[in-house]
């Protein structure tokens, strides 16, 4: 078991996109390399992260932390002989308890999926003695498509964004004015200080420092990025002290004393602008750049990933020179992951057309973000510690943060690629915009996540009355089904979809009752089906088959989507409405019980007919159409020998099915 001794000195692992992920679980008080389970999990982390992207690597680290929490709880309540002390002791039952632990603690089931995948992938890829765990497949929870903003919320969003764009253009004008302004000189400083020093104790002066000249003074002195930490601290201390005479302050010390919190001169002239506000006028904030990034999403119909992948020096396609004078073709290249053993970087281009003259077009929004970032980018380029391929040098969305960190460009200048800064910027924007969608206030990034692109797509489709296939082409979707399912969930779109579905249901029931049932009714004597796609489905503990599927790789129930290659359908609750459903003679007792269960349920709750009415009609048709009365009697006897055959929710059958 050589894998238990490997990588004990490693404290991080590098993902395929060259991002280093720290092994933060090593800092846990209960982590101990002498325990085989802990050493094995660390091996899986180091190997697993090196084979995947940073996003999946972070998820793997979270999964390992969650499994350590679970193991600590589990080992504390079971007898010593059943404790999980190594990876080889993680079986189907133990992992099922881990899944239950995640659900009980309201943590994502994807963590169990990610860890299980890492176990299998690492053991298969490396011959280091790690055991090959036999774990059952975990069904991923269905994704919830994003819903567009309501019309009123979208209008309010545009109004808020127009105000933001105006404010940011005013900030650029302020910065241009600062560059041409005259800094304070020592003679002016001496005269103003003398006047402020003459203010009697307890009194306040109405004088205010000129923000433009104050900013020009800071820039002339190289504050804050060209001053060492020692001088920063010294200037801050001098700004607050009263021991310096009216003739002893230089222009930088004067500005800081007037603007810094609890500055000596600020106490005499409290109406002067604060230093934090002055810095925010000179440099962009996360809220500034997030506002522009979100408006770009809405205008171009791009997702967040495509917007953040923009290159400030290369976002206009060369073909724009051949297009209309007012039209620009915009380009963003997302770096997409590929399969195992293939190069990671494979850029996926995303295109959009935009107006050059519209001040709120995507083209001008990106230029505005780049212009706001210009000073920050120059500081990064002059910082020797910043690598030439640093992503920040290409990003249009740069800003400075305000943590207790050194005033160095590498430490203080960030881009929106960092999720924490994105969330903070969105929260700040929404706090000021006060947006409400269908009566619900939009407060955090989660309230807007994925919805701006969906809103853009919806509006574009409705405005131009274009077919779904063209919309899919514009937004770069491989399949129009993706566009229809995940990017069109507005109230009116859902209403149209429900009407189409109810029409299908009505047609399906009429065909079923008219002898045009689209599934298959099979008998024991029928000729065997010779295809690897045919599947007979059996519940554990029963010698009779539940039913069969003619092609389990190609489901066709209402709302079904193409499955990934090699993946079989597990939606047993949808078999009733699928073309591939094959009813066997063995199926009869299960169908009889299901019919009885649904009839009783609808009798107790008539509203349940909306959910189960169509299934009920199909079950009645199948049983009424079965011509072999002897087979029906045998099925009834089998049914009576069990208290229950099926759960109400057929989706839960997936854990008890065998082929």
Average pLDDT on 544-571 reads 85
Q: Sorting pLDDT into bands at 50, 70 and 90, what band is 368?
A: very high
> Rounded CA gap, 295 and 289, in Å?
10
Furthest CA-CA distance within the chain: 112
Tell me whether residue 333 is in a domain.
no
Relative orientation angle of helices 286-300 and 362-382, to the nearest 10 degrees: 140
Are 218 and 110 within one domain? no
| Predicted confidence (pLDDT) per residue in 439-477, tens digit | 889 998 888 878 888 888 777 766 655 565 655 665 565
Task: Say yes or no: 646 and 525 in one domain.
Answer: yes
Residue 377 lies in a domain: no
Q: What percent of the chain lies above the pLDDT cut of 70?
A: 85
* Residue 648 belongs to some domain of the structure: yes
251 inside domain:
yes
Average pLDDT over residues 488-514: 57
Per-residue pLDDT, 211: 96
Residue 526 pLDDT exceeds 50: no
Residues 121 and 246 in one domain: no
Interatomic CA distance for residues 427 and 419, integer angstroms? 12
423-436 confidence digits (pLDDT tens): 899 999 999 999 99
Query: 542 lies in which domain range?
Result: 520-658
The string of pLDDT tens digits covering residues 297-314 is: 999 988 888 999 999 999
Q: Tell me, yes or no, whether 21 and 109 share the same domain.
A: yes
Mean pLDDT of 353-366: 93
Measured CA to CA in angstroms, residue 38 lies from 2, 15, 68, 190 at distances of 14, 21, 8, 67
Which strand (E) or helix (H) includes residue 335?
strand 327-336
Residue 30 shares a structural domain with residue 115: yes
- Please work out, in degrees rounded to the nearest 5, the angle formed at the alpha carbon of residue 188 by the alpha carbons of 185 and 192: 135
For residues 547 and 641, membership in a common domain is answered with yes
Instruction: Decide which of 125, 151, 170 is a domain's last residue.
Output: 125
**Whether the Cβ atoms of residue 584 and residue 522 lie closer than 8 Å to each other:** yes
210 shares a domain with 103: no
Question: 440 in helix, strand or coil?
Answer: strand
pLDDT grade, residue 254 (50/70/90)?
very high
pLDDT-derived band at 590 (thresholds 50, 70, 90) equals: very high
Residue 492's pLDDT is 43
Does residue 230 share a domain with residue 108?
no
Please give the angle made by the CA atoms of 301, 303 and 308, to the nearest 5 degrees. 115
Decide if pLDDT at 256 tops 80.
Answer: yes
Last residue of a domain, one of 125, 140, 157: 125
**Residue labelled with tokens 């380009």:** 331
**Per-residue H/E/C for 431-446:** HHHCCEECCEECCCHH
Do 532 and 650 share a structural domain? Answer: yes
Give the C-alpha separation, 302 to 476, whole Å: 10
Report pTM: 0.63
What is the pLDDT, as a whole number, of residue 552? 85
| Length reported for the chain | 659
Q: Is 25 inside any structural domain?
A: yes
Range picked from 273-287, 503-517, 558-572 for highest mean pLDDT? 273-287
Structure confidence by residue, pLDDT tens digits, 57-96: 889 999 999 999 999 999 888 888 888 999 998 988 899 9
- Alpha carbon dihedral 91, 94, 97, 101, in 10-degree steps, equals -100
Confidence band (pLDDT; 50, 70, 90) for 279?
A: very high
State the pLDDT confidence band at 523, using cuts at 50, 70 and 90. Answer: very low
Picking from 266, 281, 296, the residue at the C-terminal end of a domain is 281
On average, the pLDDT of the chain sits at: 84
Q: Are residues 116 and 223 in the same domain?
A: no
pLDDT confidence of residue 143: 63
Counting the structural domains of the chain, the total is 3
Domain annotation covers residue 423: no
pLDDT of residue 529: 46
Q: Are 120 and 187 found together in one domain?
A: no
**Are 526 and 654 within one domain?**
yes
């Amino acid at each position: 078991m050589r894998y238990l001794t490997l990588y004990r000195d490693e404290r991080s692992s590098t993902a395929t996109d060259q991002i280093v992920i720290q092994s933060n679980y090593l800092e846990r008080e209960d982590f101990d390399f002498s325990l085989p389970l802990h050493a094995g999990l660390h091996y899986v982390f180091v190997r697993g992260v090196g084979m995947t992207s940073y996003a999946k690597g972070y998820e793997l680290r979270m999964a390992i932390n969650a499994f350590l929490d679970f193991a600590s709880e589990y080992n504390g309540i079971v007898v010593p002989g059943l404790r999980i002390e190594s990876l080889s002791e993680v079986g189907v039952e133990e992992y099922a308890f881990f899944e239950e632990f995640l659900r009980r603690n309201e943590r994502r089931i994807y963590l169990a999926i990610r860890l299980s995948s890492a176990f299998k992938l690492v053991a298969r890829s490396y011959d280091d003695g790690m055991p090959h765990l036999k774990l059952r497949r975990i069904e991923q929870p269905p994704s919830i498509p994003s819903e567009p903003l309501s019309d009123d919320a979208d209008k309010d969003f545009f109004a808020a964004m127009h105000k933001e764009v105006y404010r940011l253009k005013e900030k650029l004008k302020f910065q241009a004015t600062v560059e041409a302004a005259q800094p304070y000189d020592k003679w002016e400083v001496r005269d103003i200080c003398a006047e402020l020093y003459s203010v009697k104790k307890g009194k306040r002066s109405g004088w205010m420092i000129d923000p433009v000249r104050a900013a020009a003074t800071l820039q002339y002195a190289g504050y804050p990025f060209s001053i060492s930490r020692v001088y920063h601290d010294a200037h801050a201390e001098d700004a607050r002290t009263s021991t310096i005479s009216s003739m002893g302050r230089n222009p930088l010390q004067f500005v800081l004393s007037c603007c810094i919190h609890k500055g000596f001169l600020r106490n005499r002239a409290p109406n002067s602008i604060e230093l934090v506000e002055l810095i925010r006028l000179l440099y962009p904030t996360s809220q500034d750049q997030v506002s522009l990034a979100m408006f770009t999403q809405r205008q171009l119909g791009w997702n967040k990933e495509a917007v953040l992948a923009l290159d400030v020096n290369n976002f206009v396609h060369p073909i724009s020179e051949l297009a209309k004078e007012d039209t620009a073709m915009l380009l963003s290249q997302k770096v997409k992951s590929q399969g195992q053993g293939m190069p990671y970087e494979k850029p996926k281009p995303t295109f959009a057309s935009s107006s050059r003259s519209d001040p709120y077009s995507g083209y001008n929004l990106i230029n505005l973000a780049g212009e706001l970032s210009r000073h920050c980018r120059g500081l990064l380029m002059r910082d020797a510690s910043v690598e030439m391929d640093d992503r920040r040098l290409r990003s249009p969305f740069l800003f400075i943060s305000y943590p207790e960190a050194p005033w160095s460009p590498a430490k203080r200048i960030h881009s929106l690629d960092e999720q924490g800064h994105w969330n903070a910027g969105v929260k700040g924007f929404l706090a000021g915009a006060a947006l409400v969608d269908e009566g619900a206030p939009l407060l955090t990034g989660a309230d807007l996540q994925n919805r701006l692109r969906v809103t853009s797509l919806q509006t574009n489709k409705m405005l131009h009355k274009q077919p779904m296939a063209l919309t899919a082409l514009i937004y770069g979707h491989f399949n129009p089904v993706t566009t229809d399912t995940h990017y069109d969930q507005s109230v009116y779109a859902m209403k149209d979809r429900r009407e189409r579905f109810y029409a299908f249901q009505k047609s399906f029931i009429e065909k079923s009752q008219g002898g045009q049932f689209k599934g298959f009714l099979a008998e024991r004597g029928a000729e065997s089906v010779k295809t690897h796609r045919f599947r007979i489905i059996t519940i554990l503990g029963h010698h009779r088959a539940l039913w069969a599927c003619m092609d389990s790789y190609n489901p066709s129930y209402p709302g079904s989507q193409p499955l990934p290659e090699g993946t079989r359908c597990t939606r047993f609750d949808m078999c009733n409405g699928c073309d591939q459903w094959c009813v066997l003679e063995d199926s009869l007792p299960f169908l009889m019980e299901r019919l009885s269960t649904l009839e009783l349920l609808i009798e107790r709750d008539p509203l349940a007919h909306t959910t189960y009415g169509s299934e009920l009609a199909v079950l009645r048709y199948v049983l009424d159409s079965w011509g072999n009365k002897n087979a029906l009697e045998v099925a009834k006897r089998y049914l009576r020998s069990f208290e229950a055959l099926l759960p109400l929710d057929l989706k839960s059958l997936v854990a008890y099915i065998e082929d």
